């Protein structure tokens, strides 16, 4: 058995990474652009993904709680928030949404980007100030990805408008709510979003 068999190559192509992770090539591109997967570009402009980063992401996904797929007709909502108490409040209060919903959660921007790559939500609700990959970085990464253009994004933050602008602002179309979380307004927005999507399907 030669050395190459014992020691796998330290990098792989984005297509090889996608095959190992069981996701689309575009998802791997999203994860490399956002820093979820460590990668570099060759002189010819081709991405090379660190195999160790792929292994780490596989392990992280295996440790995550597996949730059933979104039931047919239910609105898929992803909540990204690093405060466990607030995540619990989201789960509790969004259960009262008058339209069928499935609520997925992530504890930081890194986990959020993984969940986004696995399944694009109908509504993304996110905090801004989080450790590691924060909400600003996550949202600006998504702006460059056309497959997320139709997604409704809601920011719930303790920052005021001046603070947000000082940190580079937010992409166009993002709805901003202040903390404490205005659940009545959030549920109304989610309900309206469900009606819009239902109308598009019926058209």
What are the tens digits of pLDDT across the range 64-98?
A: 554 555 566 789 999 999 999 999 999 999 998 99
pLDDT averaged over the chain?
A: 87
DSSP three-state, residue 49: strand
What is the per-residue pLDDT for 165? 95
Neighbour-count burial of 64, counting CB atoms closer than 10 A to its CB (0-12 exposed, 13-18 middle, 19+ buried): middle
What is the per-residue pLDDT for 124? 98
Q: Nearest to residue 78, comparing CAs of 94, 62, 63, 64?
A: 94
pLDDT tens for residues 153-166? 999 999 999 999 99
Sign of CA dihedral 103, 174, 107, 84: negative
Sheet bearing 123-126, strands edge to edge: 101-106, 75-80, 123-126, 152-157, 175-178
What is the per-residue pLDDT for 41? 82
What is the per-residue pLDDT for 69? 54
User: Alpha-carbon distance 61 to 31, whole Å?
Assistant: 13
What is the per-residue pLDDT for 183? 96
What is the per-residue pLDDT for 179? 94
List, for the chain, all residue ranges whose pLDDT scores fall below the cut of 50: 1-7, 66
- The number of helix segments (H) and strand segments (E) in the chain equals 9, 8
Instruction: Compute how many other C-beta atoms are within 10 angstroms of the C-beta atom of residue 38.
Output: 17
What is the per-residue pLDDT for 3? 33
- The torsion defined by the Cα of 68, 127, 153 and 140, in degrees rounded to 10, comes to -110
């Amino acid at each position: 058995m030669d050395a190459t068999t014992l020691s796998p190559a330290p990098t792989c192509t984005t297509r090889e990474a996608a095959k190992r992770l069981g996701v689309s090539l575009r998802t791997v591109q999203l994860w490399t652009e956002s820093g979820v997967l460590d990668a570099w570009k060759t002189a010819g402009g081709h991405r090379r993904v660190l195999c160790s980063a792929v292994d780490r992401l596989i392990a992280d996904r295996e440790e995550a709680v597996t949730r059933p797929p979104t039931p047919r007709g239910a609105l898929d909502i992803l909540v990204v928030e690093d405060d466990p108490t607030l995540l619990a409040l989201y789960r509790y209060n969004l259960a009262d949404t008058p339209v069928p919903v499935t609520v997925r959660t992530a504890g930081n921007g890194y986990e959020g980007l993984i969940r986004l790559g696995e399944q694009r939500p109908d509504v993304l609700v996110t905090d801004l100030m989080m450790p590691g990959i924060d909400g600003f970085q996550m949202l600006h990464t998504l702006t460059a990805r056309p497959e997320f253009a139709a997604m409704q994004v809601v920011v719930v933050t303790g920052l005021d408008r001046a603070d947000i602008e000082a940190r580079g602002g937010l992409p166009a179309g993002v709805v901003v709510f202040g903390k404490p979380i205005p659940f009545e307004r959030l549920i109304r927005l989610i309900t309206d979003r469900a009606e819009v999507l239902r109308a598009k399907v019926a058209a």
